[in-house]
Chains A and B, each alone.
Chain A
Amino acid sequence: MSVAAQEPATDSLLRVTDLTVRSARVERPLLDGVSFTLDRGRTLGVVGPSGAGKSTLALAIARLLPRGLSVDGASTIHLGGDALHELDANAMRAIRGRRIGYVFQEPALALDPAMSIGRQVAESAQVHGVPEGEAATRALEWLERVGFPDARRAARSFPHELSGGMRQRALIASAMILEPELLIADEPTTALDPTIQDQVLDLLARLRQESRTTLLFISHDLATVAERCERVIAIERGRIVDDRSATEAVAAYRARRAIPSFEIPTPEPGTPLLRVRDLEVEYTMRGLFPWGAAATRTHTAVAQLDLQIARGEVVALVGESGCGKTSSANAILRLVEPRGGSVLLDGLEMGRLKREPLRRLRRRIQLVPQDAGASLTPHLTAEACVAEGLEVHGLAEGATARRKARELLAELGLPERVARAVPRELSSGERQRVAIARALAPDPDLLICDEPLASIDETSRAQVLTVLSTRRARRGLALLLISHDLDAVRRLASRVLVMYLGRVIEHSVGDAALVAPRMPYTQALVAAIPTGDPSARLRRSLLRGELPILSPPSAGCSFQPRCTHPLKDERCSAERPMLLPVGPAQPTHHVACWHALQAP
């Protein structure tokens, strides 16, 4: 350690030099000589593919590294004038929370399910010596500042009563309550919808300015980072590979982000591969007591879903989470029993099938579930998991099945070690690709992908898309793509359905619904796609509020309560609009909005 390191420059808040982190289990260091400075009041973005070491960097700065990871002796971390690497655990505890705030990726896991939000936020102040009463008052104040409409009510509620976006707001409140000098946000919005993500990032930006906090923002999504930060460093395999201003980084990113061209198929005439008619899914919620008004409530997750997919076609289903996309997929696969409607695969009604014929039919219609990590059986290796699809459908046995599984994993760009690893030894991007390999193994005709690209970085994304594209071209694989990544959808889908509260509200052949959306809701969704351009962000028509999932269904348009359309009128709340062609010139673009039909 050099003597000069004791005296950091006056305006630099965080100075990391030669940070090296090793794991007892892996030979290659997780972080390898990372050095950078962050000036007071500035924003620094850290990007990189999953497993690059971004979170390790954040955890090392806050000295929160899990057991088994150790920082090399030569590494130094300075916050203001203090050498964090020299502090003992107690001194560090006094700094975390007071001078360094931390917002984690998954708010559901970072909050204590058994403690009210108010107490959790107040606790972050109490542990630093703020008296209980004052902490509670400050917590209320902060809950209001992060955008809870009724702070007192929010303080009394528990994490499970809040949506993902609201949980993240609560977590931000508890990180900011002592107005730390440095705020580390590790993928703060990755688990959220784009519309909500935008709201939360706006909030972070506002608070940062108000409290003059310095921000270290970690994300795998360069577009989001570039919009929100002044400088961006890119990390790959534990080393800084790029460090420049956000504008330059975006220009470079634009040049790189060329999703391999995925020839958009034209639907063939004839019997569609999948035909869904009037599908309806309903959930019944039972109250604690079997009497009274709250004894049972039903929630319609999907209503009147009509859908057709031809062989080799790519159909996209988009919308915010909670809109019924996943329920639709589960009902089509008969993983949940639909309340009504029919699902025909090649003209065969799936609802009439008995257990064994239905099981055999599943070979032809496969699923890549939303939470791919949790969908892998914890004790099975990736290889066994992928081979299983071949074995249970009698396509291959034993060693042959495992060899085919390894080939498929390699095709998806996974290194050899993955085949013999169990899920907890894999990164989330790797798990997702294992789940894709598992679904592709039995050579299905239709693949239902529920957010297939969510946690995959750019490079692997291209690989996955190439594999899917090849399958489509060679074997006529059809895709039902469920996603809120509208950018990817626009490039891939030959037909787009936009769902809101269980109903399709806009539908087009081709990407018309996303290129020229007519429904105010779709317009807001499209506007929320991060582009990497800070000026474009200001033009966005933001979608306020969140999905009112549990409110009673209205007779009119389901989007009407959140709608900002200038022509919104009584008809919107009284009468439900039907899906109708936008105009005679666009017979294949349908929209369910009374005012979108009028000629603009």
Chain B
Amino acid sequence: MGRSAAAGAPLTGRNPRVAIALLVLLVVVAIAAPWFAPSDPRAQPDLARIWEAPSATHLLGTDSAARDVLSRLLYGSRVTIGIATLAVLVSLTLGTLVGASAAVLRGVGDAVLMRITDAMLAFPRLLLVILVVAGTGDPGTFSLAILIGATGWMTTSRLVRQETRRLLATDHLRAARALGVPRRRLLTRHVLPGLAPTLAAAAVLSFAAAVPLETGLSFLGLGVRAPFPSWGNIIADADSRPLAHWWLVLFPTIAIALTVIAANVVAEGFARRAREDAASGGGA
């Protein structure tokens, strides 16, 4: 009963509809920001009106350079989500390559790849990113995304290794081998589709990790820099007076929190699905 009840729960089950809807909405907002936003996020229509609290003219107030916070928040979602998505693509590719190779190679190859993964995990990610950014100066949006992805593939590689090993030992893989299916086709046609739920979970999970990392860096002034908006550097504009300039802190924080929580819930749903598939002996 417990399991079937959980499967139908909109928030915590294998199909967390509310969280998925939230993430979809976020992506739609990011894409459609130019149509929604009341003004250009970099425009400074009236330099006298800095740090204005929310009002009818500026629904979410203005920042240190008199820019419209609502517009910056909407455009900022493009930057934040864009960077996180690109980072996920990088980490998913790296993680799948490393994890699947480790599972297929076994023995020494497996040991080497997984110890590299362990070493990467042992190094604090934030510190690593800060060191690289500090060493190279202004990284630019694209390089920042690559950097976040390149430091975040380890969880994925562990998950993928585990799941690939399980799939490689299933009856249907043995049967495909007995049929004479060549190795490459075995992987692309029989193993990889079975990995889909695991990869989906890993993707959303690394998305949930990439968002706070990027916004954190931007907040510190190491990520996306003004006048380009990011949820992180909007908060930074509160100019160390978060209570006085509460709107600059509150709205981006809500956006970040909702995104991260929704992504975690969705990831948990996918992971549940992967577990249930594994328990029923299947793979897709």
A residues near B, CB below 8 A? 67, 333, 335, 355, 359-363, 366-367, 369, 371, 374-380, 388-389, 392-393, 423-424, 435, 438-439, 442
Contacts and interface: CB of A to CB of B under 8 A. Distances in A.
Contact of A375 (B4, B171, B189, B277): B171
Contact of A335 (B170, B172, B178): B178
Nearest to B193: A379
Given A374-B281, A378-B284, A392-B185, A366 B178 contact: yes
A377 B176 contact: yes
B109 interface: no
Contact of A392 (B180, B277, B282, B283): B180
B190 A363 contact: no
Contact of B282 (A362, A363, A371, A424): A424
Contacts of A371: 171
Given A67-B4, A377-B283, A379-B193, A392 B174 contact: no
B127 interface: no
A367 B180 contact: no
B182 interface: yes
A333 B177 CA distance: 10
A423 B280 CA distance: 12
18 contacts: A333-B178, A335-B178, A359-B182, A362-B179, A362-B180, A367-B179, A369-B178, A375-B175, A376-B172, A377-B194, A378-B194, A378-B277, A378-B283, A379-B284, A388-B176, A389-B179, A424-B282, A435-B175
Nearest to A371: B171
Nearest to A367: B178
Contacts of B284: 377-379
B180 A369 contact: no
Interface of B is mostly: helix
Given A374-B171, A378-B172, A366 B179 contact: yes
A10 B183 CA distance: 67
Interface string B180-214: 11110100011001100000000000000000000
- Residue of A333, A392, A439 with most chain B CB atoms under a 10 A cut-off: A392
A366 B194 CA distance: 24
Interface in B143-174: 170-174
Interface string B268-281: 00000000010001
Given A377-B284, A392-B181, A392-B185, 10 more contacts: A362-B180, A367-B179, A369-B174, A371-B171, A377-B175, A377-B176, A378-B172, A378-B282, A380-B190, A435-B175
B172 A374 contact: yes
Interface of B: 4, 170-183, 185, 189-190, 193-194, 277, 281-284
Contacts of B173: 377
A464 B212 CA distance: 60
Contacts of B190: 377, 380
B205 to A, nearest CB: 23
A388 B181 contact: yes
Contact of B179 (A67, A355, A392, A424): A392
A367 B281 CA distance: 20
A335 B179 contact: no
Contacts of A393: 180
- Residue of B4, B277, B282 with most chain A CB atoms under a 10 A cut-off: B282
- Residue of B189, B193, B283 with most chain A CB atoms under a 10 A cut-off: B189
B243 to A, nearest CB: 52
A438 B181 CA distance: 12
Contacts of A355: 183
B107 to A, nearest CB: 15
Nearest to A365: B178
- Residue of A369, A374, A377, A423 with most chain B CB atoms under a 10 A cut-off: A377
A371 B174 CA distance: 12
A355 B284 CA distance: 28
Contacts of B194: 377-379
A530 B190 CA distance: 40
A362 B178 contact: yes
A379 B283 contact: yes
A392 B4 contact: no
Contacts of A359: 180, 182
A591 to B, nearest CB: 32
Contact of B180 (A374, A375, A389, A424): A389
A439 B180 CA distance: 10
A380 B193 CA distance: 10
B104 to A, nearest CB: 13
Nearest to A375: B175
Nearest to A378: B282
B179 A369 contact: no
Given A67-B4, A392-B185, A424-B282, A375 B172 contact: yes
B130 to A, nearest CB: 42
B169 to A, nearest CB: 12
Contacts of A435: 175
A355 B181 CA distance: 11
Nearest to B191: A377
- Residue of B170, B175, B181, B284 with most chain A CB atoms under a 10 A cut-off: B175
B175 A369 contact: yes
Nearest to B175: A375
3 A-B pairs with least C-beta separation: A379-B284, A362-B180, A375-B175
- Residue of A361, A362, A366, A375 with most chain B CB atoms under a 10 A cut-off: A375
A391 B180 CA distance: 10
A462 to B, nearest CB: 25
A389 B176 CA distance: 9
Contacts of B175: 367, 369, 375-377, 435, 438
Nearest to A422: B284
A335 B180 contact: no
B273 to A, nearest CB: 13
B171 A369 contact: yes
A366 B170 CA distance: 18
Contacts of B282: 378, 423-424
Nearest to B190: A377
Contacts of A439: 179
Contacts of B185: 392
Contacts of A379: 193-194, 283-284
A378 B185 CA distance: 16
A65 to B, nearest CB: 13
Contacts of A389: 179-180
A361 B179 CA distance: 10
A424 B282 CA distance: 9
A392 B182 contact: yes
B174 A375 contact: yes
A435 B178 CA distance: 12
B106 to A, nearest CB: 14
